[in-house]
A = this chain, B = another copy of it.
Amino acid sequence: MPAAKENGAERILDVAQSHIQRFGYNGFSFRDVAAEVGMKSASVHYHFPTKADLGVAVVKRYHEQFAAALGGASDSALSVEELLARFANVYLAVLNADQLMCLCGMLGAEVAALPEDVATEVKNFFSYSIDWLTIVYERKDQSNGKSETMAPRIKAQRHLATMQGALILARSMRDPKVFNEIANAI
């Protein structure tokens, strides 16, 4: 959520994130970002010396914002259904923004082409997401008494995979409804 007044570094992060979500890590340049922010590429290098530095900063900030939007998974004030709905809504906000991929869904696909620092941050984001969902599914299993055959962590992985794939499908089919249909089907 871009605040009303942002410093140069923040505006660069906003634009860089949007470009990565649209075109991928290899699909944007310092000049692209600089032009949209309203400065020259040398000024972007002042804030983020290398492209890997910029990539790492974008992913770290995204991770933090994502965690803030999700809140705690063991928050007992919310039901399991409310927590999963919140998770879906965070993804829905991403898609509706401008038919964007999840930042880390995009970078996850490209992971073999990323600087190692950036790839590590992407892994951290997914680890966090799986941990969050695992806690929710553990609570779900506890609440309904029947013995579950599938481990909560596997359910969490499947849940996350379905959301990421739904974003790819919706974009590829050029039909945002596809995401909603899949998200509601989970």
Report which A residues bind B (CB closer than 8 A): 22-24, 26-27, 99, 101, 104-113, 119, 122-123, 126-127, 150, 154-155, 157-158, 160-166, 168-169, 171-174, 178, 181-182, 185-186
Contacts and interface: CB of A to CB of B under 8 A. Distances in A.
Given A160-B165, A165-B161, A166-B161, A27 B172 contact: no
A169 B161 contact: yes
A109 B104 contact: no
Contacts of A178: 157
Q: Please state the number of chain copies in the assembly.
A: 2
B173 A126 contact: yes
Contacts of A157: 166, 169, 178, 181-182, 185
A109 B112 contact: no
A160 B167 CA distance: 11
Given A157-B169, A164-B164, A173-B127, A22 B113 contact: yes
B26 A24 contact: yes
